[in-house]
A and B are shown apart, each in its own frame.
Chain A
């Protein structure tokens, strides 16, 4: 017997769409040895997750067509009968899913769920299974595991849930762990912890690991081998250091080049003309002790809790923070989509924080916003031209020809074909849609654009292009930008100055270089050290450093 832990050859998976089939995986071959870790990397649509699901035969009964052979721990997954397949699932190979909240049953205690899985594969008593659940929960670092085992998933934080899912995967001591984007839904600090945990467990149990991710930084520190996928095929495969260090294929190189780096800023931004001479005059927008509370009397939560910052004409202010830090709320307040509940918001010296909708309207066009999710930021039922033209019409422009011309100009400016006026959003890719969103924000000739996570929903290559476009526009038009993101690297790439937010407050504020190169606040330091790096050696070093800081 070959005794590869995983042996995939000629795997092709096709999904039924309307009247035809779409090929998600196209003749893939790879193997994974026991105890080894393989990372499958690719952008969305590359078929990487389909491969992961194929290893457990999860396409069975869905109408998908699977060809080729998949052997996991000696079992032919494609041909196995249902009973045998169930033995593989969880028993020989266990999966860690992406979104830990929805991946657990909301109605049952976490411990029971793990115990249930354990009893599917081992003939043990309920009590023994519970004990095993506590044991594995304890192992993945859930404090007070015996008590927490009785909690339901919604009582756990995101990181804890992901740990619980890993615990479930460990329960039956599988020989293979399959992790499908295990950290995508998590903040960067938590992501680091989870990756560290997976690493440790692998070392301890000797299980093989198949890590599926879109993030090259994640694989760098976690796997031995990397498989780069594109359009269902393998582009490149090799040891992680080799692929990331000296990629052979162009695609891999492009991919690597597009990854923003915290350590090496790409200077796309340009400091405003005249440098910092006219500092006082340059202040465009100023927030003073800005506050925003949600909820009703008695039970209010301050999403933004006294933030003061300034945006100067022509500069880019980066706002970085993890989920729940209040950065989106802040961004929406800056353009007055949300009303502040306290503090002042001054635009060119005038307090606009308390202006009513009517009084605000003449100013509206000067403050624009680019949104995170390109799918929801364009009306699916209106052509993109109409969407872009909307602010023009609202401003009173009636002449159709002039509107057409102006929209064409804007489309061209963001790198789209000016003749696409009549196309609808669904005809575009995510990156293109984001360009449309930017064109629309530009239409009313604003002075300031708040970009709320403008690239986080995009693939890494697209991400780089959009970032590049924003920088270009800023240079050309002398715009001020507020760039809000959770991704420290992206923020560094574009920002002149950076504000780090946590729990509704700014904990650190300074020029990009100051904040990134010599962080003062411990929170900033923690954040920076958690950012995954592309160099496997460096990644290992950082892991050791983290372990030293946070024991257990």
Chain B
């Protein structure tokens, strides 16, 4: 099993690197000159030329990529003017625009995206598993049909619609909530919570619908398994069948999926971050794409991609741990 996971993990990491190479190539052919953009439009040709040299943009693209790889594994030095700017491995390079280390930029935005993703996950798990279970326990009754319809509708609503409507309702009309802003958890936990409540909810409503459906179908499938029948045939009550014998098996895919979703969230919260103006990784990469700040784009892609690769591995392990019958080959 370890062997399997290692192979899968390494395979994905390898592809991830191939991907960074593709990004380099794509940006190389993209219109626009990063040096000109970093320098400013009024920069003279001399100045742009100097800057191009300083950023290493005068080198062939494969050498630039080689430097990037070297930085990743061995660290790199950049000229800081006065002295050098040492960038320890794993070094993702420095921003063309601000000379800031990409690693720092990402670490600075990470808390925002992480708060968003983790908080949303808590809500979607509670809501999703809760309503999924409820619809199973109330099989055949009105509650089930209501929940089934609701969750079906829920999966169909894009986050930017839910978000907009929530904003409209809670911030503009009712004014119960402040307009979402990110305040660090360590800075002011209360503001952190209230500021993120709406983004969390918008993300989670959508996800929880998916989870409710998954929980429900997984639970129904588990309840149809033979061992459930065994305990039913031994007089164990329905409630206990669900909570003790079906829940764990039924939740295995739910947990595995949430690990995956959490990983994906690091890269896919762009819409939410844009809508609510949260300074996370998604916003960072969007603005970096606009100014062709290649090191930042590659860095964020690598980090978000890696988080998903990791999440995949975690999901596999969780799944295997939850379901002893699973063999990873």
Give chain A's interface residues, CB within 8 Å of chain B. 56, 58, 85-91, 94-95, 97, 99, 102-108, 113, 116-117, 120-121, 152, 154, 165, 168, 296, 298-299
Q: Given A106-B325, A107-B324, A154-B325, are A168 and B226 neighbors across the interface (CB < 8 Å)?
A: no
- In addition to A95-B233, A121-B235, 11 A-B residue pairs with Cβ atoms within 8 Å of each other are A58-B233, A85-B235, A86-B237, A90-B233, A102-B226, A102-B227, A104-B227, A105-B245, A106-B227, A107-B248, A154-B324
How far apart are the CA atoms of A275 and B323 in the complex, in Å? 57
Closest to B139 in A: A61
How far apart are the CA atoms of A253 and B232 in the complex, in Å? 38
Interface membership of B234, Cβ < 8 A? yes
Interface membership of B249, Cβ < 8 A? yes
Closest to B230 in A: A103
Interface membership of B225, Cβ < 8 A? yes
Interface membership of B236, Cβ < 8 A? yes
In whole Å, how far is A150's beta carbon from the nearest beta carbon of chain B? 14
How far apart are the CA atoms of A56 and B231 in the complex, in Å? 12
Interface membership of B229, Cβ < 8 A? yes
Can you list 26 A-B contacts with CB-CB less than 8 angstroms, sorted by A residue number? A56-B233, A87-B235, A89-B232, A89-B234, A90-B234, A90-B235, A91-B235, A94-B233, A95-B230, A97-B226, A97-B230, A103-B227, A103-B230, A105-B245, A106-B249, A106-B323, A107-B249, A117-B235, A120-B234, A120-B235, A120-B237, A154-B324, A165-B230, A168-B234, A296-B3, A299-B3
How far apart are the CA atoms of A199 and B247 in the complex, in Å? 37
In whole Å, how far is B212's beta carbon from the nearest beta carbon of chain A? 23
How far apart are the CA atoms of A460 and B172 in the complex, in Å? 76
B residues near A86, Cβ cutoff 8 Å = 235-237
Closest to B252 in A: A107
The digit string for B215-246, where 1 denotes a CB below 8 A from any CB of A, is 00000000001110111111111000000110
How far apart are the CA atoms of A103 and B230 in the complex, in Å? 6
Give chain B's interface residues, CB within 8 Å of chain A. 3, 225-227, 229-237, 244-245, 248-249, 323-325
B residues near A117, Cβ cutoff 8 Å = 231, 234-236
In whole Å, how far is B231's beta carbon from the nearest beta carbon of chain A? 7
B residues near A104, Cβ cutoff 8 Å = 227, 230
How far apart are the CA atoms of A152 and B249 in the complex, in Å? 14
How far apart are the CA atoms of A57 and B237 in the complex, in Å? 14
Chain A to chain B: the 6 pairs with minimum beta-carbon distance, closest first:
A90-B234, A86-B235, A102-B226, A89-B235, A117-B234, A90-B235
Closest to B234 in A: A90
B residues near A168, Cβ cutoff 8 Å = 230, 234
How far apart are the CA atoms of A396 and B249 in the complex, in Å? 51
How far apart are the CA atoms of A511 and B227 in the complex, in Å? 44
A residues near B227, Cβ cutoff 8 Å = 102-106
Closest to B246 in A: A105
A residues near B233, Cβ cutoff 8 Å = 56, 58, 89-90, 94-95, 97
How far apart are the CA atoms of A437 and B89 in the complex, in Å? 62
How far apart are the CA atoms of A165 and B231 in the complex, in Å? 11
In whole Å, how far is B325's beta carbon from the nearest beta carbon of chain A? 5
A residues near B235, Cβ cutoff 8 Å = 85-91, 117, 120-121
In whole Å, how far is A128's beta carbon from the nearest beta carbon of chain B? 18
How far apart are the CA atoms of A89 and B241 in the complex, in Å? 14
Closest to A60 in B: B232
In whole Å, how far is B61's beta carbon from the nearest beta carbon of chain A? 38
B236 and A58 contacting across the interface, CB-CB below 8 Å: no
In whole Å, how far is B249's beta carbon from the nearest beta carbon of chain A? 7
How far apart are the CA atoms of A412 and B161 in the complex, in Å? 65
B residues near A107, Cβ cutoff 8 Å = 245, 248-249, 324
A residues near B232, Cβ cutoff 8 Å = 58, 89
How far apart are the CA atoms of A374 and B236 in the complex, in Å? 38
In whole Å, how far is A30's beta carbon from the nearest beta carbon of chain B? 20
A residues near B231, Cβ cutoff 8 Å = 105, 113, 116-117
B residues near A94, Cβ cutoff 8 Å = 233-234
In whole Å, how far is A531's beta carbon from the nearest beta carbon of chain B? 28
B residues near A87, Cβ cutoff 8 Å = 235
Closest to B322 in A: A107
B residues near A108, Cβ cutoff 8 Å = 244-245
How far apart are the CA atoms of A154 and B233 in the complex, in Å? 21
A103 interface neighbour in B226, B236, B325, Cβ under 8 Å: B226
Closest to A121 in B: B235
How far apart are the CA atoms of A257 and B231 in the complex, in Å? 39
Closest to A172 in B: B234
How far apart are the CA atoms of A86 and B236 in the complex, in Å? 7
How far apart are the CA atoms of A485 and B65 in the complex, in Å? 61
How far apart are the CA atoms of A302 and B214 in the complex, in Å? 40
In whole Å, how far is A505's beta carbon from the nearest beta carbon of chain B? 25
A residues near B225, Cβ cutoff 8 Å = 102
How far apart are the CA atoms of A99 and B325 in the complex, in Å? 15
A residues near B229, Cβ cutoff 8 Å = 58, 97, 103
Q: Given A106-B323, A106-B324, are A116 and B226 neighbors across the interface (CB < 8 Å)?
A: no
In whole Å, how far is B245's beta carbon from the nearest beta carbon of chain A? 5
How far apart are the CA atoms of A227 and B153 in the complex, in Å? 54
Closest to A296 in B: B3
B residues near A85, Cβ cutoff 8 Å = 235
How far apart are the CA atoms of A106 and B233 in the complex, in Å? 17
Q: Given A105-B231, A106-B323, A107-B324, are A120 and B226 neighbors across the interface (CB < 8 Å)?
A: no
A residues near B236, Cβ cutoff 8 Å = 86, 116-117, 120
A residues near B237, Cβ cutoff 8 Å = 86, 120
How far apart are the CA atoms of A91 and B229 in the complex, in Å? 16
B residues near A95, Cβ cutoff 8 Å = 230, 233-234
In whole Å, how far is B210's beta carbon from the nearest beta carbon of chain A? 25
In whole Å, how far is B253's beta carbon from the nearest beta carbon of chain A? 14
B residues near A154, Cβ cutoff 8 Å = 324-325
How far apart are the CA atoms of A106 and B248 in the complex, in Å? 10
B residues near A91, Cβ cutoff 8 Å = 235
How far apart are the CA atoms of A502 and B47 in the complex, in Å? 82
How far apart are the CA atoms of A58 and B236 in the complex, in Å? 12
Q: Given A56-B233, A117-B231, are A152 and B226 neighbors across the interface (CB < 8 Å)?
A: no
B residues near A58, Cβ cutoff 8 Å = 229, 232-233
Closest to A97 in B: B230
How far apart are the CA atoms of A296 and B6 in the complex, in Å? 14
In whole Å, how far is A60's beta carbon from the nearest beta carbon of chain B? 10
Quick one: which of A58, A103, A152, A168 has the most chain B CB within 10 A? A103
B residues near A89, Cβ cutoff 8 Å = 232-235
In whole Å, how far is B168's beta carbon from the nearest beta carbon of chain A? 45
Quick one: which of B227, B229, B249 has the most chain A CB within 10 A? B227
A residues near B323, Cβ cutoff 8 Å = 106
In whole Å, how far is A477's beta carbon from the nearest beta carbon of chain B? 40
How far apart are the CA atoms of A345 and B229 in the complex, in Å? 48
A residues near B244, Cβ cutoff 8 Å = 108, 116
How far apart are the CA atoms of A121 and B233 in the complex, in Å? 12
Closest to A171 in B: B234
A residues near B325, Cβ cutoff 8 Å = 106, 154
How far apart are the CA atoms of A474 and B4 in the complex, in Å? 46
How far apart are the CA atoms of A58 and B235 in the complex, in Å? 10
In whole Å, how far is A122's beta carbon from the nearest beta carbon of chain B? 11
In whole Å, how far is B5's beta carbon from the nearest beta carbon of chain A? 14
